[in-house]
Amino acid sequence: MNEEQRLNYLRQMGYQAYYPRFVLPGAKTSPNYQLPAQAESAASEQQAATSKAAAKLQEAGQNRPVIEIPAKRAKPATRVEENQIAPEAAQEGAEAKASQSAADQLRFNLQYYSINPQLAVISETPHQLRGKQSRDSTGLLTAILRALAPGFGESDPELRGEAFNWPLAEGIGNEDPRRAAALALQGFINQRQAQDGFANLLIFTTQLPQILTGNDDEELAGDKQLDNLQCQVTFTHSLHSMLAHSMLKRDCWSHLQALRKRLQS
């Protein structure tokens, strides 16, 4: 997961990212962070000022850190600090950090929905939610489907999802996790397509385009024809990312125009 995507996940859980700017006496070496573009200039200025202050202290022979931690509450430097979040959110954040520490193993959680004979939907959910779709995400999905296919939900307005989680079991796909995940997901989609007969698959996601195509560089939004799938695939932003950043909804609607024409023809 790149740094921008990691920050988006943390913001949704109520966390604020913190980047250490200098080395405290006796502290372990920090990871080599790639800061977001808007923070790079500020980080450089902060680092220069800190280095200058540290040099002055060294010349004066003072044996103390550049920044003094208040005695009333000493706290080690961390990358993430809690910001008045509910106990349930704190627990989810702890589970998310534990999952990320598993040697950067590829993980994703999906919900599959059979909408009608023409359309099926896959929605990627944040890993810390254990594959469950939030109420807000379900509401947004319902609104999008009603705009795509007039009359959707009139006979059965409730969306019933089927979960698909990767890895299927710990240790699967360690040698080439992306290829193993792609094959498993392709098999799942083809089985559901043979069962439900849909011609179009709409995928709300953050990482599945690169997994299914094996291409990290190509622009992967809108309609795509994948060789190993027997349906027309349309990629767009994940529902939770659109809830976090409303400007993405306009991009999503542009991604869906070709699909909308097919469904209404």
Structural domains in the chain plus CATH codes? 3-100 (no CATH), 108-264 (3.40.470)
Q: Where are the alpha helices (DSSP H) in the chain?
A: 3-12, 37-60, 87-100, 135-148, 177-196, 208-213, 239-244, 248-255, 257-264
Closest alpha carbon to 126 in 93, 104, 79? 93
Distance between CA atoms of 137 and 160, rounded to whole angstroms?
13
Angle value at C-alpha 112, between 104 and 245, nearest 5 degrees: 65
Beta sheet of 119-125, edge-to-edge order:
162-166, 108-114, 119-125, 200-205, 232-237, 222-224
What is this structure's pTM? 0.58
Q: Where is average pLDDT lowest: 10-19, 129-138, 161-170, 189-198? A: 10-19
Angle value at C-alpha 230, between 151 and 114, nearest 5 degrees: 35
Residue 202's pLDDT is: 96
Q: What percent of the chain has pLDDT over 90?
A: 32
Q: Would you say the C-alpha torsion 233, 237, 239, 242 has a positive or negative sign?
A: negative
Residue 82's pLDDT is: 44
Helix (H) and strand (E) counts for the chain? 9, 8
pLDDT digit string, tens, across residues 180-219: 889 999 999 999 999 999 999 999 998 898 888 887 766 6
pLDDT digit string, tens, across residues 78-118: 444 444 445 555 554 554 454 444 335 688 899 999 998 89
Asked if 188 and 163 touch (Cβ cutoff 8 Å), the reply is no
* Phi (first) and psi of residue 182, to 5 degrees: -60, -45
Distance between CA atoms of 51 and 47, rounded to whole angstroms?
6
Asked if 182 and 212 touch (Cβ cutoff 8 Å), the reply is yes
Residue 61's pLDDT is: 54
> Which of the two residues, 132 and 223, has the higher pLDDT score?
223
Residue 93: strand, helix, or coil? helix
Give whole-number Cα distances, 250 to 107, 125, 187, in Å: 28, 20, 32
Closest alpha carbon to 10 in 111, 82, 104? 82
pLDDT digit string, tens, across residues 43-71: 556 566 656 655 665 565 555 444 444 55
What tokens does 218 get?
Answer: 């190509």
Give the best-scoring range by mean pLDDT among 29-38, 48-57, 63-72, 225-234: 225-234
Which residues, 6 or more positions from 170, have their beta carbon under 8 angstroms from its beta carbon?
Answer: none
Distance between CA atoms of 264 and 204, rounded to whole angstroms?
20
